[in-house]
Amino acid sequence: MSQPCFCPGELLLPGKAIRPEQWACPSAGALSRESWQELEARGENAPGIMRLLVPDALLQRVETRERLAAAKAAMEPAEKTLTRAVNGVVYLERTLPDGRVRRGLVGLVDLEQYDFAQGSRTPVRAPEALAARQVLPRLDRWEDAALQSSHILLAADKSEAELFAPLADIQKEEPLYEGNLCYGGGSVKGWAVEDTVRLNALAALFDAEKAPEGAALLAPVSGAEDLAAARAFWMLVKEELSEAEREEHPARFCLAEVCSIQSPGLRLAPAHRLVMGVQGLPLLAAFRTWCAGQGVRLEDSPAPESLRPLCFVCGAWQRKVWPTGGRWPLAAGLLEAFLQDYLQANPACFTDRLAAEAELRELAADGNTGILLSETNEDLFRGLAGADFLPLGLFAPLAARQQRYELECRRIR
């Protein structure tokens, strides 16, 4: 019997009298140490779910073990606050601070259908190679924890019309929760999806045997390290379980939200490259020579088969080129391969990644060169279709106020 890669579960929420602004908080992976401590300083007025979390910025510090113990100790008392349960999924509409709306489904990822190892072709894909140092510190969040919340946001390679077709009239129903979010995160409105007809229709979208046009492929756009930690923890736990126990064990699943890659509320922006120690013209000349050896042409205007353009910038000078031909699915991947070879041959040069174009242009002078990338949302799955991973750091992290807020919880023990 087939199993969807994204499925319903028992999701816990605070009582209706508790507004999202009083409970939900920004992603534990997004805030700096100072921003997190600023929210903590509100005391009783801090978002309630913060007591259950240790943010990434406070992992691997002297006080981490103490913070983790306090967060886990707060989980059992928190169940007295989490008085509502949804046996299914939550459909939500998140209005971002700039007014864009991101529609999503909150449910469970089947970790048997996700793998962050190189060469994996699971329904839930890892967009980038992850090092052990990114995953291991997050394992401690799972050990002996009673509850899981989540800031993991996955994109599906389906349109919003396809993804939410089974929920066409749900906005006419009473919402599960509605309200503003703290820290200027906009607002959120959610509905419980519990009836069998809707849940079966949604499950079919994520089931390779039941989806008429192919099951949705999922990839994290936020919280990739936490999803990998959940998978690593499950691989440890399953070794001590029987086959029957593995089917329904809580550690097999991970709470997450799924949105469409085409959502107007999801805007992936590339992280541009700054190459220090070389000016634009000689770097472009070296790139052109290297590309010729790889069977890639650099055109001055786009051709039908061209990849996204790369724009070389150095002071007032700039030149845009369109890579054409070769084996790379993305121009960013081609550039990454070139830079690896170039830096090895020129050890006095080094690179950095910058999300802001204005900052890159300011630094791309006096012997430095900026390279502006053009990849967008649609390149996430295009790149994964043609390679094991996307180029490292292709997309800049979503801003803290645009990431998924920690809101729903689930029991994991």
Beta bridge partners of 91: 105, 191
> What ranges do the domains of the chain cover?
6-267+398-411, 272-375
pLDDT of residue 119: 80
For residue 287, the model assigns a pLDDT of: 98
Comparing CA positions, the residue from 72, 54, 232, 74 lying closest to residue 144 is 72
- Residue 357: pLDDT over 90: yes
> What is the dihedral sign for C-alpha 389, 394, 398, 399?
positive
Q: pTM of the full predicted structure?
A: 0.94
Around Cβ 110, how many Cβ atoms within 10 Å?
A: 19
* Per-residue pLDDT, 369: 98
Give residue 104's pLDDT: 98
Compute the average pLDDT of residues 7-36: 92
Confidence of residue 1 (pLDDT cuts 50, 70, 90): low
What is the mean predicted confidence (pLDDT) over 14-42? 89
Share of the chain above pLDDT 70, in %: 99
Encoded tokens for 69: 């113990």
Structure confidence by residue, pLDDT tens digits, 300-356: 999 899 999 999 999 999 999 999 999 999 999 999 999 999 999 999 999 999 999
* DSSP string covering 238-286: HTTS-HHHHHH-GGGEEEEEEEETT-TT----B-EEEEETS-HHHHHHH
* CB distance 14 to 48 below 8 Å: yes
Beta carbons within 8 Å of 68's beta carbon, 6+ residues apart = 54, 140, 141
Position 212 confidence tier, pLDDT thresholds 50, 70, 90? low
Q: Is the pLDDT of residue 17 over 70?
A: yes
DSSP 234: H
pLDDT mean across residues, the chain: 93
pLDDT recorded at residue 101: 98
